[in-house]
Amino acid sequence: MIVTTTSIAAAAGGTYALTRRYLRGESLSKWDADIPTTFETPEPSKEMQGVNDYLASTFTVGESLDAKRERFNSTGLTRDFGCTFKDDTANFGGVSVPGEWTLVDGADSSKRILYLHGGAFTVGSPVSHRPVTSNLAKRTGCVVFTPDYRLMPENPRTASIEDSKASYRWILENGPDGPAAADKIAVGGDSAGGNLTLMLSNWARDAGLRKPDAVVGISPATDGAATGQTVRTNFETDVMLKPLIGPMLKIPHDLLLLGMWRRLGMPPSAKQISPIHDRLHDLPPTLIHVSTAEMLYDDAKRYTNKAQAAGSPVTLQSWSHMCHVWHIFDEMLPEAHHAFDEIATFLKEHGVAK
């Protein structure tokens, strides 16, 4: 057998193409159809400009992980939320996940929300996301459990998946007062937590478990390979994610995918990492919130288009000029309250909210 330079080059090219497809997954560009902006304003409000100024001065490149975690948690320690926060531990299948219930007077403990916090899988906690969980509890009359799932880099990425699954199975049969079956259950999350939320929705279906009665994804990351155009086109307008994503955009995309493959222990396109690459049929009623100005806009839009094409009842509500997960700025943005009202209405329509 004669091996030529041409055949070696062809084999190398074929291997590269297969590896690239394996890491990126199938092309998602066919799900790029525009969806009209739901709540549009001609320009950023004065309040949003104030939030962007805060983000530009606070979310900076080079901040240590410990400092970032402390800063995130300070959000939930410096104000009175008018709620009770109760520590608990989700236990299922040998996995124990500490967490926190958010409770309001008169809440129905049989109506439960499992809320998965964001933070790029490296920061965040039940404490950091009290602005979100308190608003959900007050507006819905549900009890809200937020697991303190294991974070990277001290834990593998799969740890957050295992903890989320265990928390879901536990909350189906346990409330804030102990063992008791849930009458209604919703799952929600933002950003990284939105990724875990949509992963759980797929997984519960495939595992033959009781599906959530409703699902809410806030600015969810759906494509771990980051192939959406808005990762780049919305770089300047997404002040929150800019410091995180900026250094990554300087790396050639294929090299970035190889690095992610090594770090994750699976391809970025794996359905556990990228819920958009799962089959999106037979999903529960799902509401997605996103800003048209954020880098993950394409993640949300593509997920919605693909799910709707598969016949799933997925709705996208978008706001113009908002930051990533603007809901957490409830003390600064009227649009945060608007968004929570929309979520409460959605949950009420599906029997979860009181």
Catalytic residue status for 7: no
Count other C-beta atoms under 10 Å from residue 189's C-beta.
28
- List the catalytic residue out of 191, 201, 219, 274: 191
**Rounded alpha-carbon distances, angstroms, from residue 112 to 17, 38, 195, 354:** 46, 28, 20, 11
Catalytic residue status for 294: yes
Read off the amino acid at residue 137.
A
User: Which own/partner contact pairs does 88-91 have at CB distance under 8 Å and 24+ positions apart?
Assistant: 88/145, 88/176, 90/145, 90/147, 90/163, 90/166, 90/167, 90/170, 90/171, 90/174, 91/166, 91/170
Catalytic residue status for 289: no
Could you give the strand order of the β-sheet that contains 84-92, starting from the edge strand earlier in sequence?
A: 84-92, 95-103, 142-147, 108-116, 184-190, 214-218, 286-291, 314-319
Phi, psi of 244, deg, nearest 5? -80, -45
- List the catalytic residue out of 274, 324, 327, 335: 324
- List the catalytic residue out of 100, 294, 335, 342: 294
**Rounded alpha-carbon distances, angstroms, from residue 183 to 91, 210, 255:** 20, 11, 47
Closest-CA residue to 277 (of 17, 31, 26): 26
Class of residue 8 by CB neighbours under 10 A (exposed 0-12, middle 13-18, buried 19+): exposed
Half-sphere exposure of 49 (CA within 13 A, CB side): 4
Tokens of 286: 């799902």
Count other C-beta atoms under 10 Å from residue 59's C-beta.
18
Read off the amino acid at residue 69.
R
Give catalytic residue positions: 191, 294, 324
